[in-house]
Amino acid sequence: MKIEGKSVNLRKVTKSDAQSIYEHARDREISRYTFIPHPYKREDALQFIKFSREQLKKGNEYHLGIELKATGQIIGMIGMMQISRKHRRAEVGYWLGRSYWGKGYAAEALRLMLRFGFEQLKLVRITAGVMHPNLASARMLEKAGFTFEGRLRKNFMQHGRWLDELRYGILKEEFSRK
C-alpha cells in the first residue's frame, strides 16, 4: 500500500524501516504529546512494525510510514484508527521526527490520509485528539479544515502530569471544499 504525495508518500513500513523509526521516536520530544513510550527501544520499533502490518492486513487500522520522497526514509508515522464501518468514522493520529517539524510534511501527510479516509474508506467523519498544550498540532488540524469540538479536561496522565485533550473533527463535505 502506497499513497503518493508531492514531498512525502504514505506507505506500509517494513523491518528495514525499524532503524529510522527508532532514531526519530526515541527523541523525548516525540513522546511528550504522543503515546510513544520513553525511552523508546529499537525492539519497540520492530514490534510496532509487526503490529502495523497485522492491522493493515486485517483492514482494522492503517498505520503508515511518512516517507520523505527525496530520501526514501521514514520520517514519521500517521494512522487511521478506531475505524467504524457502520458509522463510517475513524480517528487520525500522527507524529513526525523533530528535524522535520515546520516544513509542511505532516500537513501534507494529513491531507493524503484524509483523502484516503474519505475517498477509499468512504468515511463521513474523521476525528483527531491533541494533547494540550501541543498548539502546533492543533493549528495544523485547523488549517486542514478540522473544527474544534471540545476539551476533555485532565484526560491524559503524561510524564507525571495531567494534560487536557483537545478534540477535533472534520466531515467529508468540509474536506471536499478544500
Q: What local confidence, expressed as pLDDT, does residue 32 receive?
A: 87
Please, are residues 114 and 143 in contact by the beta-carbon 8 Å criterion?
no
Q: 97-134 as b/e, with b when 16 or more CB fall inside 10 Å?
A: beebeeeebbbbbbbbbbebbbeebebebbbbbbbbeb
Residues with Cβ within 8 Å of residue 151, at least 6 apart in sequence: 132, 164, 165, 166, 167
Residue 5: band (very low, low, confident or very high) from pLDDT cuts 50, 70, 90: very high
Task: Assess whether the previous peptide bond of 133 is cis (omega < 30° from 0).
Answer: yes
Homologous superfamily of 2-176 in CATH? Answer: Gcn5-related N-acetyltransferase (GNAT) (3.40.630.30)
pLDDT digits (tens, 9 = 90+) for 17-64: 999 999 999 999 998 889 999 999 999 999 999 999 999 999 889 999
Q: In the chain, where are the structural domains located?
A: 2-176
pLDDT digits (tens, 9 = 90+) for 89-134: 999 999 999 999 999 999 999 999 999 999 999 999 999 999 999 9
**Residue in the block written with cell 501527510:** 109
Taking 80 as the threshold, does the pLDDT of residue 176 lie above it?
no
Q: CA 126 → CA 80, 104, 132, 140, distances in Å? A: 9, 20, 19, 15
How many residues does the structure list for the chain? 178
